[in-house]
């Protein structure tokens, strides 16, 4: 049962959630309805199961605030994006609601067998938010946080970058004519950031644990209104105390080696990269 619970929690780390549309959504600039962008709202879901339902004690909870897409300019692509966003939370075989129920029930079955963990706190929370939504791209992040009775919880963030014409979740390596330049620029940014932190007196590859001491860039990246950033999740390149590490490359720094004809190149033509 313990392995089942841990496996369930791992699956949850990969995905995200939903909330009813506010009546004033149409007046919010970031979600203004346009014919050439995706129309969405946030959907909130919640599950709770307790060992003692009458006293509301020894409870496991799960919640999700997820993006719910209503429509978009390209039907097939929009349907594909909608499916992928749900998979970010609940995987291929269940809905978000079913996933939360599976987590909370699984915790209670585990606690009934392993009651030495009482009254430890067990919960999982997911938030999905949007960074960019225009006629080229819909981007954002799925954040998850899980408490499983330990000394501290674990958290995880996964970015998504959808081409709204194709529905594809982008790979950053397909967006550049010279990926080596991106590597060099990003590594220099990380080195400079480490050196600016006065409390860190050791070298880059002593502080960050890259495999074989060789710098790499994850495909966990995000395009927003001002930059392209790379995200290393907790434990990926360092201890828990470091947390998540981000490297930000502004558009002015990367525009010269963005590959022509890509959705990023089309988007950057509409952006003032000098700001």
> Are 204 and 139 members of one domain?
no
The last residue of one of the domains, among 163, 181, 213, is 163
The tens digit of pLDDT for each residue in 189-247 reads 988 887 666 554 444 445 678 888 789 999 999 999 999 999 999 888 888 888 899 99
* Model pLDDT, residue 104: 87
Query: Containing domain of residue 242, as a range?
Result: 172-268
> Are 61 and 100 members of one domain?
yes
> Are 156 and 65 members of one domain?
yes
* Model pLDDT, residue 115: 59
> Are 149 and 33 members of one domain?
yes
Number of domains in the chain: 2
The tens digit of pLDDT for each residue in 126-150 reads 999 999 999 999 999 999 998 877 6
The last residue of one of the domains, among 104, 139, 163, is 163
> Are 58 and 191 members of one domain?
no
What φ, ψ does residue 33 adopt, rounded to 5°?
A: -75, 125
Sheet containing strand 122-133, edge to edge, reads 39-52, 57-71, 122-133, 137-148, 154-163
Tokens at residue 147, please? 């408490």
The tens digit of pLDDT for each residue in 35-90 reads 789 999 999 999 988 876 666 667 889 999 999 999 999 999 999 999 999 999 98
Surface-to-core class of residue 239, CB atoms within 10 Å of its CB (0-12 exposed, 13-18 middle, 19+ buried): exposed
> Are 186 and 204 members of one domain?
yes
Instruction: Using the structure block, give the residue that is written with the tokens 């828990």.
Output: 240
């Amino acid at each position: 049962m313990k392995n089942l619970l841990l496996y369930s929690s791992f699956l949850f780390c990969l995905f995200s959630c939903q909330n009813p549309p506010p009546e004033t959504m149409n007046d919010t600039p970031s979600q203004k309805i346009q014919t050439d962008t995706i129309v969405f709202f946030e959907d909130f879901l919640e599950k709770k199961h307790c060992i003692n339902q009458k006293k509301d004690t020894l409870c496991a909870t799960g919640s999700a605030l997820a993006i719910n897409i209503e429509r978009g300019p390209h039907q097939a692509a929009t349907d594909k994006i909608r499916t992928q966003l749900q998979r970010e939370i609940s995987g291929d075989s269940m809905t978000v609601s079913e996933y939360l129920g599976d987590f909370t029930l699984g915790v209670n079955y585990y606690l009934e067998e392993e009651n030495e963990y009482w009254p430890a706190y067990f919960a999982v929370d997911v938030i999905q938010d949007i960074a960019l939504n225009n006629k080229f791209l819909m981007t954002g992040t799925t954040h998850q946080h899980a408490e499983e009775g330990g000394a501290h919880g674990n958290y995880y963030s996964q970015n998504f970058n959808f081409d709204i014409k194709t529905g594809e979740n982008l790979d950053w390596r397909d967006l550049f004519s010279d990926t080596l330049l991106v590597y060099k620029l990003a590594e220099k940014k990380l080195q400079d950031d480490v050196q600016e932190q006065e409390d860190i007196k050791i070298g880059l590859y002593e502080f960050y644990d890259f495999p074989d001491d060789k710098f790499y860039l994850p495909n966990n990246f995000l395009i927003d209104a001002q930059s392209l950033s790379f995200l290393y999740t907790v434990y990926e390149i360092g201890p828990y105390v470091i947390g998540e590490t981000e490297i930000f490359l502004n558009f002015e720094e990367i525009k010269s080696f963005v590959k022509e004809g890509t959705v990023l190149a089309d988007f950057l033509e509409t952006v003032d990269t000098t700001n």
